[in-house]
A and B are shown apart, each in its own frame.
Chain A
């Protein structure tokens, strides 16, 4: 049985991300009670939406959250340039294959690099999500047309144990 769910489709911008986080933190506090990891859970949504905002071809996303039993799931769908979509999928698979110390090393390398991505990203979002305790990040991509891929990014986080420090 789903305890709580929300689905949004439409344009997203920096302020819209803040609106989502305000709503989500309120819902999580109400559903889960006082916890010290509410901001950490919300930060996963921030990173997903941030990716959607940067790479969506039309600034539109479909964003869903679901709280079901002891699992919080975020899902983001957006259309992206084929090269961005493939890079996202490869990146997700790459960091999924890392162990904790490799992720920590990759994080430190990336944050200390003076380079920001072409679209202003730090290349840290998915890495941080996995480092901070998400169970999985699944990215699937499918071709919609020659210059347009649909990206679906899904994050699952257990709620019955404290997240990683």
Chain B
């Protein structure tokens, strides 16, 4: 069953959790003005649903474009994932890159550097 945590719009990604395939997805363009409020909803959902996430989960990020406020919001979400990993949760982060694009590769590298945890690059949308 797929739970929609944040609905997608023209300027916001869909954030969802699929309990069957164990994938937490952030997918879509993110040019949202209030990035803190938007990504904080996802952080709050993880905090509230810790039990259903106590098995392996892939946190999959596919954001073709995002503004710098969103970059900071996404970092906030990844920091929450990192705290779970450090507490022993079997979670992994995947970052999707289309066409070896530099913007997306650079962003992934920045997140790896800032978080100090592995982020796996996937190549298919």
Contacts and interface: CB of A to CB of B under 8 A. Distances in A.
Dominant SS among interface residues on chain A = helix
Contacts of B65: 18, 21, 39, 42-43, 46
A4 to B, nearest CB: 20
Contacts, number: 97
Contact of B100 (A36, A47, A120): A36
B103 A37 contact: yes
B75 A46 contact: no
Given A36-B101, A111-B114, A125-B67, A18 B106 contact: no
B102 A124 contact: no
B104 to A, nearest CB: 7
B10 A165 contact: no
Interface residues of B, number: 30
B99 A116 contact: no
Nearest to B101: A39
Contact of A15 (B10, B36, B68, B71): B10
Those 3 A-B pairs whose CB atoms lie nearest each other, nearest first: A14-B11, A39-B103, A124-B68
Interface of A: 14-15, 17-18, 21, 36-40, 42-43, 46-47, 50, 53-54, 108, 111-112, 116, 119-122, 124-125, 127-128, 132, 162-163, 165
